[in-house]
Amino acid sequence: MTKIITAAQMQDLDRRTISEAHIPATTLMERAGSGVASCLEQRLGPLRGKTVTVVCGKGNNGGDGFVAARLLRRRHANVHVLAMTPITDLSRDAATMYKQFVRGAGKSSVRLFTSKSQIQVLLQDSDILIDALLGTGLSSAVTGRYAEAIDSINETDRPVVAVDLPSGLHADTGMILGRAVRASLTVTFGLPKLGLYQNCGIDLAGEVAVVDIGIPPAYIDSVESRTTLITEHEVRTYLPRRQPSSHKGTFGHVGIIAGSVGKTGAAAMAARAALRVGAGLVTVAVPTSVNDILEAKLLEVMTVPMPETKARTFARTSLDRLVAFMTARTAIAIGPGLSTHPETVELVQGLTKQLDRPAVLDADALNALTGRTAILASCKTPPIITPHPGEMARLEADATPQTVNSDRIGTASRFARERGLFVVLKGARTVVARPDGAVAICPTGNPGMATAGTGDVLTGMVVGLLAQGLPSWEAACAATYLHGAAGDLAAARNGQAGLIAGDVIEEIPNALKLTGQASAKNKSNEMWNALM
């Protein structure tokens, strides 16, 4: 996984690279600006004839912008630079890059930012804007001309590329310091910054691309970071290989305890997702009176009817039968659509005490543990819980959904460490935490997935990977990444507004295929190369 770091850690990496590895700061700047130009071209295609305005501050962020401007001009873009200060106020390295730019473009290509009204026409006439105003060192509120420039960029309604970090965003907390640029794409250098993945950074950063600027790998390895970014490469290494001799038993038997009257859809979606992610067998235990409904919905899934209450939810008398049900399965999921009927809540608490195999607890299983989280300590195998912020707040004393969302990384890490389990805290940039407190952030997913049932799909995917033998951490990270990737494919096909959970399920095979394709191709190439 890729480490996610603080501004101070990045500054230390830059310092070591310059002073110990003897790579000049201007070389790092050149690579950064080149990365911006390349990422822009990769996403928009040839830039010939496009009008690009680069807004440059006085520091190194502005220097990166001058490099990008020079390289985009070589690609035959029509480039303008808006400088926030005269050349005499630029940092030494930024001034060097300014001179290189004007040597080819001429001084007339650089305009000095004087007032908001004077530069709005130039911004409006641009096809693309590049924000190279402020970098990771910002710690106080943006005011004056810089605030005016940020407002102007945001009001222009043009695609914006942020250099390293949207200007005005705190690099560590993701909070807005007075004003902040809203970017379509953020090209960040070396390693991703923590603020891009939490609080306002989630909305302001847009797509995040990480560019290698040549920091020695040994220096990166030495950085202590408990927060990482889940990557496609990492997920690819987690996925089980499917040998020619495989049979359905090879890929595990999922047991799902879910459903109640009016909520059989949750059970059905979890079951289908488990199959779609590769589980060999899936059986769902449901209250007796809704068993036929679920059977009608599911062709490839088996069902087992269980004793129920008058409200058509699981009865406490089903405890022994459900314990036997769990014993016969490879991995267990409990929660989707169970209801919070008092008798069902009591049953869930009893089942949780007897969990002795890989398991995921979600939805009403988590609600049943409100105020009783100590029960989780009795699980012989640490379970995976998949709360949304509201469920997380109910599990944590004195928490609210707002306080959970304001510190998603800290909340997930603390709960996982204190309870000795795995947490998948759902939401924008889902956070996965493990018992030692380490955290991984998922870069996939989109707002279209904020719809009923997508959490049930994730539950099914997690338990499906657990049944195939993935350890809990790998299963949680891989399922979360693939869930978001499937959602992104569904949104690309259907748009975000109309996306439903069933669309995500249908795209799971494609997400698996795209993630595994490179692996299969690389393996094939290795085999042929060995013969040559």
CATH code of the domain covering residue 133:
3.40.50.10260
Asked whether residue 215 falls in the same domain as residue 250, the answer is no
Asked whether residue 181 falls in the same domain as residue 254, the answer is no
Q: How many domains does the chain have?
A: 2
- pLDDT for the residue numbered 393: 96
- pLDDT for the residue numbered 517: 61
pTM (2 decimals)?
0.92
Confidence tier at 526 by pLDDT (50, 70, 90): low
Asked whether residue 165 falls in the same domain as residue 266, the answer is no
Average of pLDDT values for 63-92? 95
Per residue in 259-297, pLDDT (tens digit) is: 999 999 999 999 999 999 999 999 999 999 999 999 999
Asked whether residue 172 falls in the same domain as residue 191, the answer is yes
Per residue in 96-144, pLDDT (tens digit) is: 999 999 998 888 889 998 888 888 888 999 999 999 999 898 889 999 9
Of 168, 191, 225, which one is at a domain's C-terminal end?
A: 225
Average of pLDDT values for 409-416? 96
- pLDDT for the residue numbered 21: 96
Angle at 153 between CA 83 and CA 206, to 5 degrees: 115
d(CA 73, CA 220): 33
Asked whether residue 244 falls in the same domain as residue 221, the answer is no
527 is a domain residue: no
Asked whether residue 290 falls in the same domain as residue 395, the answer is yes
Asked whether residue 68 falls in the same domain as residue 169, the answer is yes
d(CA 92, CA 29): 12
Asked whether residue 421 falls in the same domain as residue 514, the answer is yes
Residue that wins the pLDDT comparison between 118 and 428: 428
- pLDDT for the residue numbered 529: 57
Per residue in 474-518, pLDDT (tens digit) is: 999 999 999 999 999 999 999 999 999 999 999 999 999 999 764
230 is a domain residue: no
Confidence tier at 403 by pLDDT (50, 70, 90): very high
Asked whether residue 287 falls in the same domain as residue 205, the answer is no
13, 223 Cβ separation under 8 angstroms: yes
* pLDDT exceeds cutoff 90 at 175: yes
Per residue in 205-234, pLDDT (tens digit) is: 999 999 999 999 999 999 999 999 999 999
Cβ-proximal residues to 219 (8 Å cutoff; 6+ apart), any chain: 13, 16, 17, 20, 21
CATH of the domain at 516: 3.40.1190.20
* pLDDT exceeds cutoff 70 at 397: yes
Per residue in 231-246, pLDDT (tens digit) is: 999 999 999 989 999 9
- pLDDT for the residue numbered 1: 78
* pLDDT exceeds cutoff 70 at 520: no
Average of pLDDT values for 81-109? 93
Asked whether residue 199 falls in the same domain as residue 257, the answer is no
Average of pLDDT values for 364-368? 97
d(CA 315, CA 351): 12
Enclosing domain of residue 394: 235-520
**Cα–Cα separations (whole angstroms), residue 500 to 257, 296, 442, 483, 497:** 23, 20, 20, 13, 9
Helix (H) / strand (E) element for 281: namely: strand 281-287
d(CA 187, CA 27): 17
531 is a domain residue: no
Asked whether residue 383 falls in the same domain as residue 497, the answer is yes
Average pLDDT over the chain reads 94
Cβ-proximal residues to 271 (8 Å cutoff; 6+ apart), any chain: 254, 256, 282, 284, 298, 301, 460
Which residues in 328-353 are b (16+ Cβ under 10 Å) and which e?
Answer: ebbbbbbbbbbbebebbbebbebbbe
- pLDDT for the residue numbered 44: 85
